Amino acid sequence: MDVLSAIKNRKSTRAFIDKQVSPQTIHDVLDAARWAPSGANIQPWKVAVTTSGTKTNLCLALADAFQSNSPSNADYKYYASPVEEPYLARQRRCGAALYGALDISRQDKKQRRAQWLKNYFAFDAPVILFIFIDSSLEKGSWIDMGMFIQNIMLAARGHGLESCPQASLAEYPDIVRSHLTITDEQLLICGIALGYSDTTAAVNQYRTERESGDSFTSWHS
């Protein structure tokens, strides 16, 4: 797969088939992702690969926290509060596309909650990559982390895999750190669901829109 196809056709996959990903394939994905740029080449990324029983037990703990209505205590604030335009409209269109693909109405709170619960099981992906950064690092290193995460997702496509980067898997970082024996000095950025796409699932049939390049670009000669 060429790089432009990998970029343009990547999407967040929310249903995976029951097929394991080999440790060698995971290693190869991360081995490619490590070539992401970083300021002064400090390479701030840390990855915890979870599979099998560890993944299952951790997902159950996260789901239990959600179902118990435990408040999120994420290590950082992902969204602005309030979200203002034009970002709010884009956020709403994203949600409408997801639930529209699943034929779940805005009024059906029960089904919406059931769908959201699937986040904490990484949509049954066989692998979750938890992405951490040292708490001593600053915003520049967080930018580096974004490039690293994108490299993971593009490298995954090169191996026939799909992915979904999930802030929801970072809502309860203390639970994640406890299960993985990781210190509080490591901040949890996100989890990445990784596996083979269920191409027949309705939730994988839609694409979110993107603004045109002209809408965010100005030229200065």
DSSP string, 143-199: HHHHHHHHHHHHHHHHTT-EEEEESGGGSSHHHHHHHHT--TTEEEEEEEEEE-B-T
pLDDT-based confidence at 91, cuts 50/70/90? very high
Would you state the pLDDT for residue 50?
98
Q: For residue 58, what is the domain's CATH number?
A: 3.40.109.10
The answer to whether position 20 is within a domain reads yes
The answer to whether position 62 is within a domain reads yes
Range of the structural domain that residue 135 is part of: 3-76+120-206
pLDDT at 1 over 90: no
pLDDT at 174 over 90: yes
pTM of the model: 0.96
Domain count within the chain = 1
The answer to whether position 216 is within a domain reads no
